[in-house]
A and B are shown apart, each in its own frame.
Chain A
């Protein structure tokens, strides 16, 4: 075992330095900045687009007086509940058939209100009618009341603790933690797919396989990629913290609600679960990628692998909303979704022991997957063993025979 670890470290060190000290690594580090910068540049515009263009516009084909009262009522309601809630209103020349008007080009409305305030008629597609009917009714009701629209004052009584609110807040933290781990794993673990191709194309694999157990090769490669990922994460996290401090001050860091296990443990678990998610998916990808003979084959494998990752994330994501349900327990037990499900648990439940158990279980799964990858690699790439035949557990765990 010591020999395997020693050999793995030699391989990990070589891989790590080869990646980190290469010119391309700088692109790897600054890569995530591009979407961030683009997001910041276009974020404001996007928000404006979504608030202006995506809000439905209703045409008012009513008498001028009624149209004016409708507009006044909308303004009064917006003042109380905010701009985003209500559809836009746009006056249209009255007298025409609303259905004919909607059929014309460049009318620029989703539906048309005709008739009177007391008896408004909403013309539009069934889905739009279903969506806008309530809004139109509310605006018309307010217009009917006009200045008599009552304003009831709410007495404020703030409390420190609200379990329901806390649960909602922790759900947000759970989702954020889960999304972050998934994003990082998806970005980084996929790189492991092509990790053996260099050794196979340069024939270095023969030198490695003759000198050290294949387990050490797999372990070393995974460790190198994990270490490289941590360098990236450290760089990005430092950048993100610095940016947050610069833009929002120290308070900006506590924007997320505190998780159930507390921030320090949550962060530690986050690191551990990322490492586990990375090792689990990484060992699987390494095993799959090791079977590929060329870069082209690896590229072909990329898409199904990404889809599989998404499926796992959706599964874990679904489980977050159903804490304690069979689906959530299954997500926590199934090795590949376990890290995502468990980080969500850490945000929502105080118990520590499930995390200890989950980490042990995930570690065991990593070992099993590596062994399976090694077994398949020895059999199909190195052509060791009798070739073909059934996959036997005994063969998987046996060392090189005499």
Chain B
């Protein structure tokens, strides 16, 4: 049976416990526990070499773990559930001589979808997404972005219950990235579980209900995006006319000062006592804002500054390549 989102789904679409995968002396996945709730959009964040791809390949059954165990859609043998899974690998792969609609139908056929139905759906998918003119074109004649879209359609043509996307946004321009986000949301609305890896924090922040932050082959954080952000205290940004006075004693000890601008974590006691001290001390408040930390800040705090900078550089490089 082709994936039907209305059928019973276990509480977790994907589970892995104590997963270890080594290549020689290198531990790419180092004792990872993960549980992706059915129907969720779940993001795995981490810089290159963090172990994201190896983790996904292990969960999908492309490689076997050296230790630990996994279940995919409730099955301990992932390939047995292949018909209900769609997978877009990080390194895109299509036969250059195949026509676009044939490539999509072929990928569906690999997952058990009859070729006739696959061809019909492929034509419809391409037409619906403004690629009707490319239906009969060989892949080698398509642009990189279009070929990537064809492969994405090949990933969903058989209407899987679980879609696994490895760095799906890399190589796409801004317009196509937005289209992909829309498509992911549409799939999730129909009950499909989406598991994707990315090093672009913004995508994860916009799309994901839950995330796992991976670095050095280990999960450093697992939970909702809100929970990740809640690990950091809100930031207070204050601008005063006065540069000194008794009110300064009310500011936290680690406050950063910059020409009348003050930056500090929101105190445990809240804003009211601080505000009172500022007013009583005639600090001359010009502006005051409380900012909730973004996922990027949370990532920096969790995975470390180096990992965050690496991810930003990678995102920049890939953006340039896509452009």
Contacts and interface: CB of A to CB of B under 8 A. Distances in A.
Partners in one complex: yes
B94 A210 contact: no
A384 interface: yes
Contact of A202 (B60, B93, B109, B154): B93
Contacts of A383: 23, 63
A385 B61 CA distance: 11
Interface string A205-225: 111111111000000000000
Interface stretch (B31-39, B75-83, B300-308): B75-83
Contacts of A199: 93
A10 interface: yes
Given A383-B23, A399-B77, A402-B69, A207 B110 contact: yes
Given A10-B110, A207-B107, A212-B82, A401 B93 contact: no
Given A384-B64, A401-B65, A203 B93 contact: yes
B79 A384 contact: no
Given A7-B110, A207-B110, A402 B97 contact: no
Contacts of A384: 62-64
Interface in B72-96: 76-79, 82, 85, 87, 89, 91-96
B95 A18 contact: yes
Interface size class of B (residues with CB under 8 A): 35 or more
Contacts of B76: 402
A387 B106 contact: no
Contacts of B57: 210
Interface in B33-66: 57, 60-66
A198 B23 CA distance: 25
Interface string B13-40: 0000000001110000000000000000
B89 to A, nearest CB: 4
A206 B95 contact: no
A22 B98 CA distance: 11
A204 interface: yes
Nearest to B54: A383
Contacts of B210: none
B70 interface: yes
A385 B151 CA distance: 28
Nearest to A206: B89
A14 interface: yes
B71 interface: yes
B95 A210 contact: no
A383 B234 CA distance: 44
A385 B22 CA distance: 9
Nearest to B113: A10
Contacts of A206: 62, 89, 91, 93
A386 B93 contact: no
A6 interface: yes
Nearest to A201: B93
Contact of A211 (B87, B91, B95, B96): B87
A14 B62 contact: no
B235 to A, nearest CB: 42
Contact of B93 (A204, A212, A213, A400): A204
A203 B92 contact: yes
B65 A202 contact: no
A204 B109 contact: no
A202 B94 contact: yes
Contact of A6 (B66, B87, B112): B112
A205 B62 CA distance: 10
B23 A211 contact: no
A387 B23 contact: yes
B107 A212 contact: no
A210 B82 contact: yes
Contact of B24 (A204, A208, A213, A387): A387
A208 B66 CA distance: 22
A311 interface: no
Contacts of B69: 401-402
B89 A22 contact: no
Most buried by A among B63, B70, B76, B154: B63
Contact of B89 (A6, A11, A198, A203): A203
B22 A387 contact: yes
B106 A205 contact: no
Contacts of A399: 77, 79
Given A10-B106, A14-B106, A210-B89, A198 B66 contact: no
Interface in A352-402: 378, 382-388, 399-402
B239 interface: no
Nearest to A399: B77
A18 B23 contact: no
Contact of B110 (A203, A208, A378, A386): A208
A382 B76 CA distance: 20
B66 A386 contact: yes
B226 to A, nearest CB: 32
B48 to A, nearest CB: 17
B121 interface: no
Contacts of A11: 110
B111 interface: yes
B203 to A, nearest CB: 22
B159 to A, nearest CB: 15
A339 B194 CA distance: 51
Contact of B78 (A382, A385, A400): A400
A14 B87 CA distance: 20
Contacts of B93: 199, 202-207
B63 A382 contact: yes
B12 to A, nearest CB: 15
A299 to B, nearest CB: 21
Nearest 10 Cβ contacts at the A-B interface: A203-B93, A402-B76, A204-B93, A211-B110, A384-B63, A206-B89, A203-B91, A210-B87, A10-B109, A401-B64
Interface of B: 22-24, 57, 60-66, 69-71, 76-79, 82, 85, 87, 89, 91-98, 106-107, 109-112, 151, 154
28 contacts: A6-B112, A10-B109, A18-B98, A22-B97, A202-B96, A203-B89, A203-B91, A204-B95, A205-B93, A206-B89, A206-B93, A207-B151, A208-B110, A210-B62, A210-B89, A211-B87, A211-B107, A212-B79, A212-B110, A378-B64, A385-B63, A385-B64, A385-B66, A387-B22, A388-B24, A400-B61, A402-B69, A402-B70
